[in-house]
Amino acid sequence: MEQKVVAPAEAGIMKKVVAHAKEYGFVFPSSEIYDGLAAVYDYGQMGVELKNNIKTVWYKAMTQLNDNIVGIDAAIFMHPLTWKASGHVDGFSDPMIDNKDSKKRYRADVLVEEHAAALEAAGKKDEGDALVKKLARLLEANDLKAVQDLIIQTGIKCPVSGTANWTEVRQFNLMFSTQVGSVAEDTSLIYLRPETAQGIFVNFLNVQKTGRMKIPFGIAQIGKAFRNEIVARQFTFRMREFEQMEMQFFIRPGTEMEWYNKWKEVRMKWHQALGLPTNKLRFHDHEKLAHYANAAVDIEFEFPFGFKEMEGIHSRTDFDLGNHQELSKKKQQYFDNDIDEATGKPYGNYVPYVVETSVGADRCFLAVLCNAYTEEVSGEGEQQKERTYLKLHPALAPIKAAILPITKKDGLPEKAMEIYNELKYDVKVTYEDKDSIGKRYTRNDLIGTPFCIAVDHQTLEDNTVTIRHRDSMEQERVAISDLRVKIRKATSWKSILEKL
Ligand code: ATP
């Protein structure tokens, strides 16, 4: 169904981005020599740099710009009761439906939502909205038979077979499980975490006590999460193994809306600071609240396949800590000795409320990559030239500068290596001397290197080089002694963080 709402030109861009990502070492299908594994991807030599940069700028924005937010790195395996307490054992499932003719499996809710989006695109917004509202009501009541009826009555067809020959709707738990323990009799069922958040909740008191944290405070974490997604597609948008960047902000009950609104604003700014255009970002309030939330919003980005969730911001109340307290029989309380003006007494003991921000590193990577992918035509007639490049924020670019001697002789390579050796301690640089300088510029454009530094004969005379700028292709002559400061400044974390 998704394909229907995608304009052909935009669908084409997605294909190009996927091909580009593979060709230039950003993303490879997992175990490709065995024909890959659905919805699992490996990051290549360029992709890992870009993804690490996105993760670093998130982590710094959380833990460096806020002295009341600290990081942790919890294990992927957790005690199985964790997932009982969090609601994942009983409630972490998606409604699935199969088409009997094509044998394709779909998420029933996504089929309806995409049909509603197609209605909206066709000028029938009210009809689409009503459909989404009805779906939310039926899912809330867990009335799967009625969801199936809704799909049939609405005339939703399978995009592959074109028929409406649907099975019933069933719930499908998304958690992967495995066994832990070496002897068969001693093994017990264990899950691969479907979200990183629970590693934070179970460590709430450890961090609060050892860090002497006072509410409000946050714990941030980046790590892998696993979900056996029913329909896994759209490249790194929906993977079965992915990475989340989550922050749980612990607060006094009753202050949640204030913090929820604050974090909405802060997080939106972060996406904009990465260079994602304001008109391609929007908030989307949840129709159906998750079992743990009393307010929830998504930050959506306009991918080539439409506006889709990139980050979720949820007010989770005391749902998680309260449930952990009940199941573990260990108090998950905080003593707040601030004075409550209404009573004149300290607020005392309570289970804190939580506002969480949860963004997928892989979705963010895809948004940044799609946004950076640029095809440009310049000049006219015979002089017309086409160029493809990645217009990445310099601080996110995998390689910050390429040092390029214009020939391989006359001592230019040695001089270029000197510059490389000086810069490599500060920023990620490369040295290249193969092929013409033009070809080397092109190669660097394709991976988004913001600065190419050409070393020529004049360099030997006056210790200056030419910097060629990726986006404008303009060239400027700069003293070698100024290079370090200039490149560091343009590619610094500060250049992003100061916009927050
Ligand atoms: P969706 O509705 O798209 O399945 P979700 O609402 O289940 O997403 P959350 O549980 O809120 O997602 O997870 C927080 C973030 O983790 C998402 O906003 C997304 O960026 C990321 N994420 C979730 N599932 C995946 C996945 N399968 N692949 C890549 N990233 C994911």
| Best residue for ligand 1 mutational test, from 30, 309, 359 (most atoms within 8 Å of Cβ) | 309
| C-alpha span between 112 and 166 (Å, rounded) | 13
Q: Which amino acid is at 382?
A: E
CA 234 / ligand 1 centre spacing (Å): 13
Closest Cα to atom 26, ligand 1: which residue? 238
Q: How confident is the model at residue 1 (pLDDT cuts 50, 70, 90)?
A: very low
- CA of 227, closest atom in ligand 1: 27
CA 176 / ligand 1 centre spacing (Å): 16
Average pLDDT over residues 389-396: 98
Query: Given CA atoms 113, 115, 118, 119 in this order, what sign does their dihedral have?
Result: negative
| Best residue for ligand 1 mutational test, from 301, 311, 363, 369 (most atoms within 8 Å of Cβ) | 363
Q: How confident is the model at residue 5 (pLDDT cuts 50, 70, 90)?
A: very low
Average pLDDT over residues 461-485: 97
Q: How confident is the model at residue 459 (pLDDT cuts 50, 70, 90)?
A: very high
CA 107 / ligand 1 centre spacing (Å): 14
Is pLDDT at 10 greater than 60 in this prediction? no
Query: Given CA atoms 350, 355, 360, 365 in this order, what sign does their dihedral have?
Result: negative
Is pLDDT at 234 greater than 50 in this prediction? yes
Burial class (CB in 10 A: 0-12, 13-18, 19+), 124: middle
CATH architecture of 392-497: 3-Layer(aba) Sandwich (3.40)
Q: How confident is the model at residue 233 (pLDDT cuts 50, 70, 90)?
A: confident
| C-alpha span between 13 and 293 (Å, rounded) | 36
Residues ≥6 apart with Cβ < 8 Å to 71: 59, 62, 63, 219, 220, 221
Is there an atom of ligand 1 within 6 Å of 109 CB? no
Both structure tokens of 305: 């396949």
Query: CATH top-level class for 3-76+193-370?
Result: alpha beta
- Return the residue matching tokens 């972490």: 92
- CA of 232, closest atom in ligand 1: 27
Both structure tokens of 388: 């493809």
CA 226 / ligand 1 centre spacing (Å): 10
- CA of 308, closest atom in ligand 1: 3
Average pLDDT over residues 445-472: 98
Please write the tens of the pLDDT for every residue from 309-351.
999 999 999 999 999 999 999 999 999 999 999 999 999 999 9
pTM: 0.90
SS (H, E, C) 244-271: EEEEEEEECCCCHHHHHHHHHHHHHHHH
The predicted pLDDT at position 11 comes to: 60
Is there an atom of ligand 1 within 6 Å of 360 CB? yes
Is there an atom of ligand 1 within 6 Å of 58 CB? no
The predicted pLDDT at position 289 comes to: 75
CA 310 / ligand 1 centre spacing (Å): 7
Of 169-173, 222-226, 396-400, 475-479, give the lowest mean pLDDT range. 169-173
CA 138 / ligand 1 centre spacing (Å): 22
Is pLDDT at 250 greater than 60 in this prediction? yes
CA 257 / ligand 1 centre spacing (Å): 23
Domain ranges (residues) in the chain? 3-76+193-370, 93-173, 392-497
Q: How confident is the model at residue 153 (pLDDT cuts 50, 70, 90)?
A: very high
Residues ≥6 apart with Cβ < 8 Å to 207: 70, 72, 213, 219
Topology given in CATH for the domain delimited by 93-173: Herpes Virus-1 (3.30.40)
303-306 contacts: CB < 8 A, separation 24 or more?
303/14, 303/234, 303/237, 303/366, 303/367, 303/370, 304/6, 304/10, 304/11, 304/13, 304/14, 304/17, 304/370, 305/2, 305/6, 305/10, 305/11, 305/14, 305/234, 305/237, 306/2, 306/5, 306/6, 306/117
Closest Cα to atom 14, ligand 1: which residue? 358
Is there an atom of ligand 1 within 6 Å of 309 CB? yes
The predicted pLDDT at position 9 comes to: 53
CA 360 / ligand 1 centre spacing (Å): 6
Q: Residue 254: left if φ>0, alpha if ψ -120 to 50, beta else—which one?
A: left
Instruction: Count the neighbouring beta carbons within 10 Å of the beta carbon of residue 35.
Output: 7
Please write the tens of the pLDDT for every residue from 63-96.
999 999 999 999 999 999 999 999 999 888 889 9
The predicted pLDDT at position 186 comes to: 65
Q: How confident is the model at residue 498 (pLDDT cuts 50, 70, 90)?
A: very high
Closest Cα to atom 1, ligand 1: which residue? 309
Most confident listed range (125-134, 354-363, 375-384): 354-363
Is there an atom of ligand 1 within 6 Å of 311 CB? yes
CA 168 / ligand 1 centre spacing (Å): 25
Instruction: Please give the residue that has the higher pLDDT: either 307 or 291.
Output: 307
Q: How confident is the model at residue 293 (pLDDT cuts 50, 70, 90)?
A: confident
Instruction: Please give the residue that has the higher pLDDT: either 237 or 188.
Output: 237
Percent of the chain at pLDDT > 70 equals 96
Average pLDDT over residues 123-129: 92
Closest Cα to atom 24, ligand 1: which residue? 238
Instruction: Count the neighbouring beta carbons within 10 Å of the beta carbon of residue 187.
Output: 12
Longest Cα–Cα distance of the chain, Å, equals 82
Give the single-character DSSP code of 496: H
The predicted pLDDT at position 180 comes to: 86
Average pLDDT over residues 265-270: 98
Average pLDDT over residues 192-201: 98
